[in-house]
Amino acid sequence: DTGVSQNPRHKITKRGQNVTFRCDPISEHNRLYWYRQTLGQGPEFLTYFQNEAQLEKSRLLSDRFSAERPKGSFSTLEIQRTEQGDSAMYLCASSLPPSGVSYEQYFGPGTRLTVT
């Protein structure tokens, strides 16, 4: 078990460009969450998947953002036409199905996006 991995760890892009981030969850985890964390703030929920189905999207997820989880394994988060306000740390987390003993989300190291 290597934990949740995210790539790239850092991304610098120019305003208006598209970027894509990848998250590989812990292998047996069927839930996958994306969060965004801006400087000095706690993470904010963006969206989550159960297997390949995207079950909830935050109003923070504008139409420039899209997330996928094909085949219920890894997930990608794409931002189109990036804006300076998109600069943040994007965190991915995964978990087992919620049960009587487990509600824990395990976080990856994050992808830090800087839009210039």
Partner 1 sequence: AQSVTQLGSHVSVSEGALVLLRCNYSSSVPPYLFWYVQYPNQGLQLLLKYTTGATLVKGINGFEAEFKKSETSFHLTKPSAHMSDAAEYFCAVSDRSSYKLIFGSGTRLLVRP
Q: Which stretches of the chain bind partner 1, using CB under 8 A? A: 4, 31, 33, 35, 40-45, 48, 55-56, 91, 93, 95, 98, 103-110, 112
Decide whether 41 or 62 has the Cβ nearer to partner 1: 41
Decide whether 7 or 17 has the Cβ nearer to partner 1: 7
Decide whether 15 or 51 has the Cβ nearer to partner 1: 51
Q: Which of 71, 89, 79 is nearest to 20 (CA)?
A: 79
Decide whether 17 or 51 has the Cβ nearer to partner 1: 51
**What three-state secondary structure class fits 72?**
helix
SS (H, E, C) 13-61: ECCCCCEEEEEECCCCCCEEEEEEECCCCCCEEEEEEECCEEEEECCCC
Q: How far is the CB of 75 from partner 1 (least distance, A)?
A: 15
Respond yes or no on whether the N-terminal peptide bond of residue 25 is cis (omega within 30° of 0).
no
Q: How far is the CB of 16 from partner 1 (least distance, A)?
A: 27
